[in-house]
Structure 1
Amino acid sequence: SSRASEMLKEDMEARGPAKVADVEKAQQNILKVCRKLEEEGRIVISGAGEALV
């Protein structure tokens, strides 16, 4: 929703810059959760630009 988007923007602005190491750790955690959800069959992750037959 637009309200949720606005709240996220406000939170990000209030936090200020993030350390690269913290960002990379958060990205790895997101990937871990996504892979687990895919293994459980709860989501489908398709390869970007990957050829399908």
Structure 2
Amino acid sequence: DDMEAKGPLRISDVEEAQKNIMRTARKLSDAGELVLAGRGGDDFV
């Protein structure tokens, strides 16, 4: 979906979508399929 074509969104819809993304990311992280970086920690190369 093109975000600009959708027009304004309700904050509650955006927050719910963000929660769903984080739930999925945590599940993938717990399964070892995704590595989540911490906030503001060291950089890795």
Using the TM superposition, give the Cα deviation of residue 45 of structure 1 relative to its aligned residue in structure 2, in angstroms: 0.8
Query: Is 1:14 matched up with 2:11?
Result: no
Which structure has more helix as a fraction of its residues?
1
RMSD: 1.4
Structure 1 length normalisation: TM-score?
Answer: 0.70
Query: Is 1:32 matched up with 2:23?
Result: yes
The runs of 4+ residues in structure 1 deviating greater than 2 Å are none
Figure out how many residues of one structure are paired with residues of the other and give that number.
42
Q: Which amino acid aligns with 1:14?
A: A
